[in-house]
Amino acid sequence: MLSKTKSEVYQSTLLSSISGVVHGYTDRILGDMKKNPQNRQKVLDGFFSEKVKLITAEQVHGGGVALVNDATVSYFPGVDGLVYKHKSGEVVALGVFVADCVPMLLVDPKAEIIAAVHAGWKGTLLDITSKTVCLMKSLGGLPRDIVASIGPHIGMCCYDVGEERAKMFQKAFGNDRKIVSITERAWHLDLGMANRKQLLDSGVLIEHIDAPPVCTSCLNNKFFSYRKDSSETFGEMLGLIGYR
């Protein structure tokens, strides 16, 4: 489940129990995180006592995942996921920007590996979650040790799509009604459940997955939503995970 801190940041109860790892999801009260560097810095200052760069991905709505080998590189083009293996004494923060798409934060506390993922519908179909777990494994991580948090995103209740897109998800995930549903009016998708299934299929234990049903569209007063906001009110939230 998610709990809200005094600094208006939401945190996973599962990830909060892991020593040395910091994480959180911002809300709309803290402002647009992508366009406003001052907003980002305030969040970073709340987590870290020293100056730290936020490492981000271009987020092209694809399935690419990059390995962060050099913490001085703060931007990775062409990808939607980032993976980092902790080095002694190094303070690092990975971040993704979202407003309806799925933010995921992962950590293998034994291998000291963290990951931040932006999963839109295209990235989900391209198995970005499975690719992230695979990259973590290549660094010495084990799926059974990985703890994953799926942050606020648009829920099935509000994510209606065309038949063509729905059929693509049925082809990828079968007739799982928790992922693809049809009503008299429209097809609906649950991107959170789709990525949860990819985590499970990759070997992550169900008890290590925190996926509360927090819909950014239903709770548009608390979160930014690409579908619900107007051009005047739209912004993007930050999902952050790091070592300190």
**The Cα angle at residue 25 between residues 20 and 27, in degrees rounded to 5:** 150
Quick count: other Cβ atoms within 10 Å of Cβ 176? Answer: 15
Better-scored residue on pLDDT, 244 or 105: 105
**The Cα angle at residue 101 between residues 5 and 155, in degrees rounded to 5:** 80
Q: Residue 94: which H helix or E strand, with range?
A: strand 92-98
pLDDT of residue 225: 98
Can you give the pTM of this predicted structure? 0.96
Q: How confident is the model at residue 7 (pLDDT cuts 50, 70, 90)?
A: confident
Query: How many Å separate Cα 165 from the centre of its chain?
Result: 21
Q: Considering the chain, what is the average pLDDT of its residues?
A: 96
Give per-residue pLDDT as tens, 92-108: 999 999 999 999 999 99
- Checking if the pLDDT of 216 tops 90, the result is yes
Mean pLDDT of 212-226: 96
Structural domains in the chain plus CATH codes: 2-154+204-230+237-243 (3.60.140.10)
Torsion sign over Cα 96, 159, 230, 2? negative
Residues linked to residue 219 through DSSP beta bridges, in sequence order = none
Residues linked to residue 103 through DSSP beta bridges, in sequence order = 118
